[in-house]
Amino acid sequence: MDIPVSFIISYNIMLSKVMSNENQHISSYASHAIVLIILLVLTTVSVLVTGWHLGAFTVAAALLIASIKVRTVITYFMHLKSENLFLKLMVSGVFVLFGLVIVITFIDYYFR
C-alpha cells in the first residue's frame, strides 16, 4: 500500500502549476462596506415583513429576502463572481433545486 515518492513529487509539481495559474481576486473595503449595508437593509426588511400580515405570503416573502441575502454573500464573500462558468452553473443548480423543494412544499401545504 505504498505510494511511490515520484508520484507524490509529480502530483505536488502539477498542483503548484495549477495553483499558480489562478487569478487573484482581491476585494476592496468599499465593496465589503456596500455588501454590509445591503445585508443590513435586507435584514431590516425581513424583520419588518414579519410584522405585516401577508397571510401565507409572509413565509414566501421571508424566503425571498433570505435567498437574496444568500446570493449576495455567495457572490461577494465567497468570490463566486470571479469563478469559472462551471462553478457558477453548479451553484445555480443548487438554487434551482432549493426552489423546487420550496415549491413542492407549498403545494403539499396547500392541498392538505
Establish if 101 belongs to a structural domain.
yes
Mean pLDDT of 57-71: 88
What is the extent of the structural domain holding 81? 28-110
Average pLDDT, the chain: 82
Domain count, the chain: 1
3-state helix, strand, coil in the chain (%, to 5): 80, 0, 20
Establish if 67 belongs to a structural domain.
yes
What pLDDT does residue 107 have?
Answer: 93
pTM of the model: 0.62
Mean pLDDT of 69-79: 87
Establish if 21 belongs to a structural domain.
no
15-31 pLDDT tens trace: 555 555 556 667 788 88
CA distance 94 to 87: 11
Establish if 94 belongs to a structural domain.
yes
Look at the block and give the residue holding cell 425571498. 64
Comparing 103 with 2, which gets the higher pLDDT?
A: 103
